[in-house]
Amino acid sequence: MKKITTTLLTMTIIHNVQKNEVLLINRPEKLGFPGYIGAGGKIELTESFSEGASREIKEETGLSVRPEDLIYKGVDEFTLLNDNYRYIVFNYLATVYSGELLAQPPEGELKWVSMDKLEDVPMQSWFRRRLPYFFQEGTFEISITHEELKTPPLREKIVKLK
């Protein structure tokens, strides 16, 4: 059997419940994946998934979220068959946080967006499809398989778990 290369990542949506807003990052074209997304990135070898999410939030936004305050929402995977490569993303929701936003965030402009204005914000289609699941009861699992990066999906499955 051919070796599968895997990258483990996190994605966290920070939700200000009192104002009903979420914090998003407007990633510029030069960083790839342009448009608004949540905070996240690669998990380091010695980190747990929640520790990686907490670190990425701090690095990208300046806010502090303790790993034990993260709400696990689900997992999604993106597989590239021709490269034998699988990206696995652990998704979290954060409603408890502290600190101040970075003045010069490394991944793009930070913006609090009202929940009722999310449809008006430019996002990549994969992120827009996933976003509602962060605010629903239970967890989710998303599996998308592509032959190669720029091709349409061969298979896409979204399962709402209890």
pTM: 0.94
Could you list the pLDDT tens digit for every one of the 162 residues in the chain? 789 999 999 999 999 999 999 999 998 877 666 789 999 999 999 999 999 999 999 999 999 999 999 999 999 999 999 999 999 999 999 999 999 999 999 999 999 999 999 999 999 888 999 999 999 999 999 999 999 988 899 999 999 998
The answer to whether 32 touches 26, Cβ cutoff 8 Å, is no
The total number of structural domains in the chain stands at: 1
**Alpha carbons 56 and 50: distance in angstroms, whole number:** 10
CA distances from 4 to 7, 17, 85, 142, 161 (A): 10, 40, 6, 19, 26
**Structure tokens given for 75:** 């997992």
At residue 126, the pLDDT reads: 86
Residue among 86, 20, 17, 90 nearest 57 (CA): 90
At residue 28, the pLDDT reads: 80
Q: Are strands 153-161 and 139-146 parallel, antiparallel or unpaired?
A: antiparallel
Query: Domain containing 20: what range?
Result: 5-161
**Alpha carbons 88 and 49: distance in angstroms, whole number:** 11
CATH code, 64: 3.90.79.10
Beta strands in 104-147 (DSSP E): 109-114, 139-146
**Structure tokens given for 144:** 């998308």
Place of tokens 């009192």: 18
At residue 124, the pLDDT reads: 86
At residue 150, the pLDDT reads: 80
